[in-house]
Structure 1
Amino acid sequence: DIHKVAKAEALGICRLLDGEKKKLTGEVEEMIDVHYKPVKEIEERAVKAAAVKANEERLEAIRLEAERTAERERREEELAAREAAAKAKEEEIAYMQRELDAAKQAEIDKQAAVKAAQEQAEHDRIAAVAKAEQDKKDAAELAGREKQAAVEAEKDRQRKEAEAMQAELDWAKKIEAERIADKKHRTTIEQKVLTGICAETECGAPLANNIINAIVDGKIPHVIITY
């Protein structure tokens, strides 16, 4: 990653600087040892040493900047990683909370459905009991009405039968009374005829009675008794 690359570059620069430093130090020591060399050569070497030092400082500055950049990028990466981890944790917690809320709501809905089903079942049971009682009551009332109607019909039949029997009896009594009255009337008339025959003839009562019976039976033509 960027941090490792920057660190590798910084280490390379440090090694380069160390090499230059060792080389410069050797050259300076050699120059000092050779004190008899010309001053101009010494000055050139001094200028070269200053240039090397300046380059070393420049490289050191680059190294330090690379280290700072690498450290900054490392911190940024760590911060981004922590933020990503925190976000992932928050999302996980939010997901778990949603799952928990959904489970709670499902349980609430289940209990509500069970309660509603129980209430409906109880309502249906009460309605069924009430209907059964009402049907029983209606059936009893219908049976009572039918029984009463049967009783009334039987009473009416018996009444009509009694009335018919009474009418027949009254008719029979009337016929019998008329028959008795007619017989009595006939007997009275026939007795008068008998008395008249006996009074007007020399016939006795038995003969007169035979004559009357013959007239009544229509055995004597053109002779009738008017009752």
Structure 2
Amino acid sequence: MKVYELIKKLLEKGLVEHSESPWASPIVIVLKKNGVDIRMCIDYRIVNTFIKLSNYPLPLIDDLLIGFESAMWFMSLDMASGFWAIRMTERAKLISAFVCPFGHFQWVRMPFGLKNAPLVYQAVINNCLWGFIRLPPEEEAEVDQDVLDFLQLECPGGGVTEEKVPALTDTMTVFQRNIPTPSHMGPVLGRSSYIDDIAHGAVSWDQLCEDLNKLLFRLRYWNISVSLPKSEFGK
């Protein structure tokens, strides 16, 4: 019964859809720590043997920690089902298909378990955090107007501000971003990212709060949600 309710919710939220794919991986049900709720996992071991591993590099933890040597205040942000921010291609949907007692389904958003899923997500997060969207006024004026038109944003006098940028709609995938060149981006503020967690340090509390505001704004711009209960601030 719990599996049925879970599948029903995934369908209602548009995360999965009915499938006629030739692929059909089995599900594995895991009980969560509270002993009541369940987590549905998919056994992609056979599928993964046919997937060519991407060459996108994952960061090393030791390298990420180097940026914290002068920081006094820290925060960590846990992405809320971060993989689901990424749309699946039609071909990937077929490969992601799974079966359960209630039918044959495939993912519309990227699931856990596929071989290249962490690498794809890391690439998206790296692009998202390639700086922050708030640029100096003289550089904001150089943002491609075609991008603003596609986003249905206005930029009178060159101003992409927090008040003017709404959350991205479902009509846009995270791969349709037009990232300004590095020379047009602000500093990365010493942030570090590993898969679906972001850690950041600052020399003062005020700086940490300012950076947090910018970081949350950047994530909202990319339509990536943060799980506040799993995040920590001001450590």
TM-score bucket of the superposed structures, by smaller chain = under 0.3
Select the structure that is richer in helix: 1
User: Which of structures 1 and 2 has the larger relative contact order (alpha carbons within 8 angstroms, sep 6+)?
Assistant: 2
Select the structure that is richer in strand: 2
What is the TM-score with the length of structure 1 in the denominator? 0.12
What is the TM-score with the length of structure 2 in the denominator? 0.12
Structure number with larger C-alpha Rg: 1
